[in-house]
Structure 1
Amino acid sequence: MLVAWAVAVAVASPAQAAPAAAQNAGSPTASTIQSSEEYWTPERMKSAIPADLPQATVSQQQQAVPRPGPSGKHDGVAPKGVQASADVITMSGRVFFVSDQGQNMSCSGSTVNSDGKKLVFTAGHCVHGGGAGRGWFDVNRWVFVPGYNNGNRPYGTWNAYQQWTKTAWINNANRAFDVAAVVMQQLNGRRIVDAVGGQGIKWGAGYGLRTYMFGYPAGPPFNGSLLYQCNGNTRNEGGFPTLSCNMTGGASGGPWLENYGATFWAYVNGVNSWMFWNGSPSNVFKWQSPYFSYDTAGSLFDQVKNM
C-alpha cells in the first residue's frame, strides 16, 4: 500500500562482495547566500523533470556492493525533534536542482540530525550525474523544500551550501554508492534541523527490517505534489535492500526509515535509488537502496556531520 502522506491515500503499491573504498568527495561551495526562490518559481517547480535512473541492467546489478559488516551491528545518531509538530512531514521534502546538463529536475530527501544540524540526505544521482563526462549539479540552484505540499512551502525553501557523495558514484556511477549528503545554508538565521527536526541515521543493521520509504513521485500517474510512502520488510537482492513499491520518478533520494513508530521519528537506513518497472516507467513494482554500511552512509556522515 502506498499512502499520500497526511493528505490523500492511493493504492501504489546480496552475496557478500569484496571490500569497497569508503571515499567521499565534495562539490564547490555555493557562491551566494541569497534565496533561490527567485529562480525556483512555482512554474519551474511544476515542470521540473523527475531525476531517476533507468532500469538496472545485469552489469549494473553485478557491481561491487559495500561490505555488510557484522550481523546485527549498527551505528549512527538518534533523531532530533524540535517541537510537537516535528515529524516525518517536516523532515521529508522535495529537492529541486539544475543538472550538469542544464535541466530543471526534482528528487526527494530528508533532514538528518548531526552536530552541525545542517544535513539533508538524498541519492547520489540527485547531486552528480555519475560516470565519465558527468559533473556536479549547480549548487547555487539546489534547494530543499521540507513539507512540500501542492506547491506550498510551509517551512521555506532552503539553499544548499555544499554537496557530498561517494567517489565510486562520481567516477563509475556505481549504484551501490548512490547516496549523498548536502550541507544546507541557514534560513532566517536558523539551521534546518533546528527549524524542522532531523531523522536519525543508522548503518550496518542488516536486512529483513521493517522499513517505511518516503518520497515525492512525479512521473505518471503521480505529479510530485504530495509525499507518499510504501512499507514492508527489506529483502536482500544481490546485496541491495529491496522493497515492493510503485512510486515513480522523482521519489529518488527519499528516506528509508527503520524503527519508524508512533513519534514519526526514526532512522534513515537507506534512500530511494533504483526503480524497476514492467513495460514503462509508470508501472514501477519495486525500489532498491544502496546498503547502508560504513563504506557508504557511515563514512559520508562522518565526513559532514560537523559542517
Structure 2
Amino acid sequence: MPSVNINFIVISSLAMFPIHTAFSAPNPNAGLNPHHARVIQHWDNSRRNAAIPRDLLIDPRGRGYMRVKQGELTPYGHTVEPLAGKPKRNEDSTAPLISDMSPSGGVLDTTITFNATVTDNVAVSQVDFYITGPTANPSSYSFAASASNGDVWTSTIQDFTDGGWCWYVTAKDTAKRGGNRSTSQEACLDVDAGGNAIEPPATDDIVVNGNWSISAQNISADVQWAAGRIYFEMPANKRKRQWNGYVCSGTAVKDTTTGRSLILTAAHCVYDDANKAFARNVLFIPNQSDSGTGTDTNCSNDVIGCWSTEFGIVDRRWTQTTFPNNIEWDHAYYVVNDTGAHSGASASSDILANAVPALSINFVAARHDEGDGTSSAVDHSYGLGYSYADDPHFMYCAEGMTTEGAVNWWLPSCGLSGGASGGPWLQHNGTDVWDIISVNSWGYTTSPGMAGPKLDNATGQCLYSKADSGAEPSSLSDGNAGIITDCP
C-alpha cells in the first residue's frame, strides 16, 4: 500500500507556513488606552460564543437575506420570509447521496486521484475514502477527502503497489445528533507500475472550500499573516438599544499615513445599511490559523495578539440604500491607531502595519475570463477568509475569475462558509506579487459562488485614499464611529 509520503490535495497549513523571525521580537507594549481596553474586555466568552457570521445572500426574487448560525435565512432590511427550501438541521433525516465515483475500474499508475460526487438536502460536513488492497497482502486505509468543485470531493494518493485495489466512500451531513451517514458500494481497480497504466484525465484546478496550504499554491505566506478574523457588534434595530455580535474577515493593507494602520473588509462588516449605524467594539485577530487554538477570550494565545479598531470608512452610496441594491460599494476600511490598540501575545511592533506584512491593493484592471481552468492561468484567483464553522483555520477557494453583472467579480464554484465575508481576493500581478483585487461580498441562496466588488475603478481608489488621508470622524460614539465619504 501507499508509503507514508502520501500526498493530499489539501495539506494542513499549520506545518507549511514559514515563521517570520521578525515577528518573534519582544513587544514594546505601549499599553492599551481606555477605549481599546474596554473593547478587549467586552469580548468575553459568552459574547464571542453568541456572535454569528454576517453573511449576505440574494434569493431568486432579488431579496436580501442574512444566513445565521444554523444555516437559516433571516430577512435583511425587509420582512418577507425566505422561500421554502432545504430542511432545517433538526428536521433533516436524509443521508447524503454518493455517486460518480472515479476511478471505478481499469488499470492505473501508482499515483491516483479519487473523486466522488456527494450531495445532501442541507450540507455535507465530512467525506472519507476507504481503500483496501493490494490483492497479495490486503490492508485497509482511510483518507479525508476535500471539496474541490461543486459537489465533487477528491483526494490524490501516491505510491500504490502493483495489484488489485478496491475503495468506497463514506459521507456525513450537518444534521443534528451526529449527522446522517451513508456508505457507497465498492469499486475496484488494478495498479500497474510497469508502464501499462491508463492515466486518468486531467482536471481543472478548482478549490471550493479548502484549508489554506501555502505549499500547494506557491503564494507568499504574507496573506495568512495579514488576514484575520474581525469581531464586532451591529444594532438589532434602528433604535440602537440592543446590539448583536458578528464575525467577518479582513486584511491589513499598506498605508502611507503616520499614526494609523488600515484593515480592508466588506462594507456590511463596517456599516449596518439596514439600521444605519457603524459597528462598535471591533476586534481584529490576525493569523489566528497559526495558533492552532479556536477563538476564545485570550488574545495571548493568538500568534501576535489582537488589535481593536478606532473607526470605519464607507462609501455614502452603501449607506443610502439597503442590500442588495448597494452591492457595488460593499468594501470598506477600519482604521487602527498605531498606539494603544494592541493586546495579548507579543509582536515585533504594536503598529499593526509593521507587525504583519500588510498587502497591496491592485487598483488596475484585474484579469478575468482569460484562463484555461488551471492554476497557472492569468485569471486564476483566490478568495480567502476565516469561516466560522472551520474555526480557527484559514480557508480558501480558487478558480478562474469571471463577472456577475456589471459591478461584481465572480468565483462561480466558491463555497466559503459563514464568517469569510470581507476576506481578501488575490490575483497574481505578473511580477511575483499577489495583490488584493476584491473581498468576499455576497452569494446566492440557491447556488454556489461568491461575488466581490470591483476595486479597479475610481471608487476603489477614492475610498482607499480617504482611509489613508488621516481624516478623523466627528464622533466615536456607538453607531457613529466612522466616516461616510463621497466618491465618484
Shorter-chain TM-score range: 0.7 to 0.9
Match of 1:32 in 2: 35
Whether contact under 8 Å (1:207, 1:241) holds in the other structure is no
Aligned counterpart, 1:161: 310
For the structure 1 residues 180 and 32, does the alpha-carbon distance in structure 2 shift closer, same or farther, using more than 3 Å as the test?
A: same
Q: Partner residue of 1:64? A: none
| 2:449 paired with 1:286 | yes
Deviation at 1:91, TM superposition (A): 0.3
Deviations 1:106-130 (A, max 9, x none): 0000010011360000000001111
Letter paired with 1:52: D
Q: Is the 8 A contact 1:130 1:170 kept in 2?
A: yes
Say if 2:192 is the partner of 1:192.
no
SS in 2 for 1:200: coil
Q: 1:166 to 1:236 in 2, by over 3 A?
A: same
- Does 1:297 find its partner at 2:438? no
Deviation at 1:262, TM superposition (A): 11
| Match status 1:267 vs 2:435 | yes
Matched, 1:247 2:416: yes
Report the 3-state secondary structure (helix = DSSP H, G, I; strand = E; otherwise coil) of the residue aligned with 1:34.
helix
What amino acid sits opposite 1:148 in the alignment? Q
With structure 1 as the length reference, what TM-score do the two structures score?
Answer: 0.73
TM alignment of 1:15-94, pairs within 5 A? 32-34=35-37, 36-55=39-58, 59=62, 87-94=222-229
CA distance in 2 between partners of 1:207 and 1:237 (Å): 14
- CA distances 1:192-216 after superposition (whole Å, capped 9, x unpaired): 1111120100124144122111101
Residue 19 of structure 1 corresponds to which residue in structure 2? none
Change (3 A) 1:258 1:128: same
State whether residues 216 and 227 of structure 1, in contact with CA within 8 Å, keep that contact through their aligned partners in structure 2. yes
Structure index of larger Rg: 2
How far the C-alpha of 1:266 sits from its partner, in A, is 2.4
Distance 1:257 1:57 in 2: 29
Q: Which moved more, 1:176-185 or 1:33-42?
A: 33-42
1:2 positional shift: 9.8
1:238 aligns with 2:241: no
Whole-angstrom CA distance in 1 between matches of 2:13 and 2:38: 28
In the TM superposition, residue 95 of structure 1 has moved relative to its aligned partner by 0.3
More strand by share: 2
Whether contact under 8 Å (1:2, 1:229) holds in the other structure is: no
What letter matches 1:95 in structure 2? I
1:35 positional shift: 5.6
Paired with 1:86 and 1:192, the residues of 2 have a C-alpha distance of 17
The residue that corresponds to 1:178 in the other structure is: 330
Counterpart AA for 1:97:
F
Identity of aligned residues (%): 26
Question: How far does residue 255 in structure 1 lie from its aligned partner after superposition?
Answer: 0.4
5+ residue gaps, structure 2, are 1-7, 17-32, 65-219, 237-242, 296-300, 343-348, 369-378, 471-488
Q: Deviations over 1:208-260 (max 9, x none)?
A: 12211110112xxx243211011112101212110121111211000001118
Within 2, Cα distance between the matches of 1:148 and 1:135? 28
Asked if 1:217 is matched to 2:220, the reply is: no
Q: Which residue of 2 aligns with 1:6?
A: 13
The alignment's C-alpha RMSD in Å is 3.0
Query: Quick check: 2:366–2:437 contact (8 Å CA) kept in 1?
Result: no
**Post-superposition offset of 1:287:** 0.3
Whole-angstrom distance in 1 between the partners of 2:10 and 2:329: 28
| Matched AA of 2:420 | A
Task: Label 1:260 to 1:49 Cα distance change in 2 as closer, same or farther (>3 A).
Answer: farther
Cα 1:5–1:201 shift into 2, 3 Å: farther
Q: Quote the residue 1:227 is aligned against.
A: 394
With over 3 angstroms needed to count, the CA separation of the structure-2 counterparts of 1:158 and 1:4, relative to structure 1, is farther
> Could you tell me which of 426, 450, 472 is aligned with 1:257?
426
What secondary structure, in the 3-state scheme, does the structure 1 residue paired with 2:37 have? coil
Q: Output the CA distance in 2 between the equivalents of 1:176 and 1:256.
A: 16
Determine which of 267, 287, 311 is the counterpart of 1:124: 267
Q: What amino acid is the match of 1:177?
A: W
Unaligned 5+ runs, structure 1: 10-29, 62-84, 279-283
